[in-house]
Amino acid sequence: MSPAATAAPDVPLPSASVSDDNHTLPALADLVERSVKRTREIYLANIGTPPPADPPSQRLKLASKIADEWEHVKVLPNAVLAQAAKSKPAVKPPSSMEASDPKVQTLIDSVSTEQRQRQETQSGVGVLALRKQAALPPRSYPADASSALVRIKEPRKVPKPTWHAPWKLMRVISGHLGWVRSVAVDPGNEWFATGAGDRVIKIWDLASGTLKLTLTGHISAVRGLAVSPRHPYLFSAGEDKQVKCWDLEYNKVIRHYHGHLSGVYNISLHPTLDIMVTGGRDSSARVWDMRTKAQIFALTGHTSTVADVKCQEADPQVITASMDSTIRLWDLAAGKTMSTLTNHKKAVRALAINPREFTFASASPDNIKQWKCPEGNFVQNLEGHNAIINTLACNQDGVLFSGADNGSMHFWDYKTGYNFQTAESLVQPGSLESEAGIFCSTFDRTGSRLITGEADKTVKIWKEDENATPETHPLDWKPKLGRGGF
């Protein structure tokens, strides 16, 4: 009897024939007999013993099986392994991967080694190859670094704000006959100067609040003041287009800086160079040489009043804010704009540089925004002070103050943008309620006193409440999921 007859089924299958456009399918029994699987069964039945071992074919079979079934879970993150070891008992590997025969286990190990070598060879142009060529040590990763294909994104951690004591009114100083529009503190922290709409500059003792000196010379409101930390000079700017340098040893004007075409609204001294920058209604910021009175640059580009200007040691050394709702960062060496920040939607009236960080803040009726130097990258929004903000001030403890036209005062934690105190400035008795506006502010050199100039013609000094504790004034902090938009 033939081998085919021996392995044939007991019940013969009828020949199936289907007529479809004069095409006839072959009989099913013929197809089964000619199949490769059937042929192998017949071969085994004939010889009675299994075929000889073929190591190359077994290696290929194992390699394809490992690649298909286990490649995507071959390497697990250390964090996942540690968590699994803590939460669950050791899981027995699947039966398909159990190697009861030592020969099979040796074969699996050799296949894994070959695959790893092949991957390193194929990545000969990658970072690993470059590290090997340069004889660099392999890069080390932390123990909890994830190497899974799908990495779980951790939620952003919102830092908790630092507790700050609330601020309270310490002293009210009267003496000006007009709106107090500018204030500057002596570098020695002994006195401060104020300029007002009554065209005079008054110098006050910081400790007692008594008047020490009155300087006259401007013929219009004094809008900007700055005290030099390296010279005995006081610089002032007014709506009469004049910029003056006062010698405080003789209490008289020794230099005039001519060039502005309209009122000068602000002034800032460079911390290390003998130059100063002024800005005003002529939409320009002008850089002056203190000694020669010469104009070095006219920084043009704004399309409206330059409301505030700040100088710092590192680039950008000059920052200007304008009523055209833009902020410009200037390259002082070239006299050109480094970048223009257009995130604000309304006029930007105030700037404040953080004394501890390489950042600054800008104030507009829509939002207070924080920026990172030197490119001016946006950091975060400080929302809630919905008023025309005229002034910003920041001290070394991370307290940011903002004062507005309607007398509202907000104190912020600079790092997180948390508004820890909201206050209202009370007008002087006899003044109108509408005269509660705050026009200028500055912290003293220690950061423990805040000086504000207001529309009721007074100068107010604020200090922290020394009796306050985190228990008496706890943080009412509710973190948000994300920072404010642009």
pLDDT, average across residues 283-309? 96
326 and 191 part of one domain: yes
Residue 18 belongs to some domain of the structure: no
115 and 189 part of one domain: no
pLDDT, average across residues 62-66? 79
437 close to 146: Cβ distance less than 8 angstroms:
no
Q: What is the pLDDT of residue 100?
A: 53
CA angle 179, 446, 454 (to 5 degrees): 10
Q: What is the pLDDT of residue 119?
A: 60
Residue 1 belongs to some domain of the structure: no
pLDDT, average across residues 284-299? 96
**pLDDT tens, position by position, 201-250:** 999 999 999 999 999 999 999 999 999 999 999 999 999 999 999 999 99
66 and 193 part of one domain: no
Residue 161 belongs to some domain of the structure: no
Q: What is the pLDDT of residue 84?
A: 73
70 and 188 part of one domain: no
Note down the domain range covering 251: 167-464
171 and 302 part of one domain: yes
pLDDT, average across residues 380-398? 95
**pLDDT tens, position by position, 311-347:** 999 999 999 999 999 999 999 999 999 999 999 999 9
Residue 75 belongs to some domain of the structure: yes
263 and 342 part of one domain: yes
78 and 224 part of one domain: no
pLDDT at 274 over 90: yes
- The proportion of the chain whose per-residue pLDDT surpasses 90, expressed as a percent, equals 63
Rounded Cα–Cα distance for residues 352 and 319 (Å) = 10
64 and 175 part of one domain: no
Please give the tally of structural domains in the chain: 2
77 and 196 part of one domain: no
Residue 384 belongs to some domain of the structure: yes
- Specify the range with the lowest mean pLDDT, choosing from 100-109, 339-348, 350-359, 397-406: 100-109
Specify the CATH number for the domain of residue 429. 2.130.10.10
117 and 207 part of one domain: no
205 and 63 part of one domain: no
Residue 2 belongs to some domain of the structure: no
Q: What is the pLDDT of residue 459?
A: 97
Residue 16 belongs to some domain of the structure: no
pLDDT, average across residues 401-410? 96
Residue 398 belongs to some domain of the structure: yes
Is the overall model pTM greater than 0.75, yes or no?
no
284 and 378 part of one domain: yes
- The per-residue b/e assignment along 58-89, b for 16 or more CB within 10 angstroms, e otherwise, is eeeebbeebeeeeeeeeeebebeeeeeeeeee
Q: What is the pLDDT of residue 369?
A: 97
